[in-house]
Amino acid sequence: MRVGYYPGCSLHGTARELDESLRAVAPPLGLELVEVNDWSCCGATSAHATSHLLSVALPARNLALAEEQGHDQLLAPCAACYNRLASARHAVACDAALAETIEDVLGRPFPSTVAPRNLVEVLRARLDLLRERAVRPLTGLKVACYYGCLLVRPSEVCSFDDPEDPVSMEEVVTATGATPVAWRRRLDCCGGAFSVARTGSVVRLSRAILDDARSAGADAIAVACPMCHSNLDFRQKALVRRGEAELPVLYLSELVGLALGLDAETLGLGRHFVDTKALVERALASKPGPAAKPGPRPSAPAAAAKPASPAAAGTEAV
């Protein structure tokens, strides 16, 4: 399937491994990523805090380009980009006067037919293929799925999953053969864009997330947002206390890539600050499973994770 691809600035910078891993897993999952020609900033950084008009016009421009280039869906792997694109589309849909202004500003019609999609949504739509092609199921790996704040909220904008009790990441992780753990801070804020301005807050928030994931017995955290990744991965050295083990933080696409049998380098796993080598070795050591069947689930669920999330259970039944 052909999908418009909007990498945004992070995927060309700090989140290159997200770009690399996504491009690597796309073909086996039947996705053709077509980068939108002449894309520009989505407005997630400062525009949406300083100018309402700009915060809608910038994403609208990118959606309009995607439309012109013949797409009906636009994949924005960065959660912030996704949120901006979806919010702008929502704002225009709810406000006829704004819609007019936007068309004026863009100098082109904006019929708003392109649906923004996020990383989780796109992967979840391909669970069957993923299960079929997961030649190296990540059996035994316990993963804490971290949604952060931008992926499922506000609910009227990001309506692809339950805003308070989402399940889609867990479904994807289950399909890789790994086990999602039940934990509490899945939807908390990591400090996001205050990474530089208010490091203190980021330390407090991100540490709570890491602590909770660790005490739930997770071997790794899965994320779908470059901002979360940089706070949890890049800052982790500063967050862990003495004697504490570090917790690898992987993009969901990287986990999927590992399960699909792709090698660590292709997936950009060498670019992480928290070493992923041990984890990758474990994954490689897992014996190739029968590709056609879903990865078998570990017999005993993780200690702290009592009932695995309902979604995980649901997927199992598939």
* Among the listed residues 38, 104, 162, 244, the single contact to another protein using CB under 8 A: 162
Asked whether the bond before 298 is cis by omega within 30 degrees of 0, the reply is no
Q: What gap in Å lies between CA 308 and CA 212, rounded to an integer?
A: 16
Toward another protein, which CB reaches closer, 53 or 94? 94
Binding mask 225-264 for another protein (x = CB under 8 A): ----------------------------------------
Part in contact with another protein (CB under 8 A); list of ranges 75-83, 102-110, 161-169, 173-181: 161-169
Closest CA to 289 of 173, 140, 181: 140
Part in contact with another protein (CB under 8 A); list of ranges 50-58, 119-127, 156-164, 172-180: 156-164
Q: Does 164 bind another protein (CB under 8 A)?
A: yes
Q: How many residues does the chain have?
A: 318
Shortest distance in whole angstroms from residue 161 CB to another protein: 11
Shortest distance in whole angstroms from residue 181 CB to another protein: 14
Toward another protein, which CB reaches closer, 163 or 217? 163
* Among the listed residues 32, 128, 165, 244, the single contact to another protein using CB under 8 A: 165
Name the phi and psi angles at 263, rounded to 5: -90, 160
Q: Side-chain half-sphere of 246: how many Cα atoms within 13 Å?
A: 19
Part in contact with another protein (CB under 8 A); list of ranges 1-9, 93-101, 155-163, 192-200: 155-163
Residue 4: helix, strand or coil by DSSP?
strand
Q: Does 155 bind another protein (CB under 8 A)?
A: yes
Question: Is the Cβ–Cβ distance between 183 and 214 less than 8 Å?
Answer: no
Helix then strand count (H, E) for the chain reads: 14, 8
Which residues partner with 223 through β-bridges? 251
Query: How many residues bind to another protein according to rule CB under 8 A?
Result: 6
Q: What gap in Å lies between CA 82 and CA 42, rounded to an integer?
A: 9
Residues near another protein (CB under 8 A) are 155, 162-165, 184
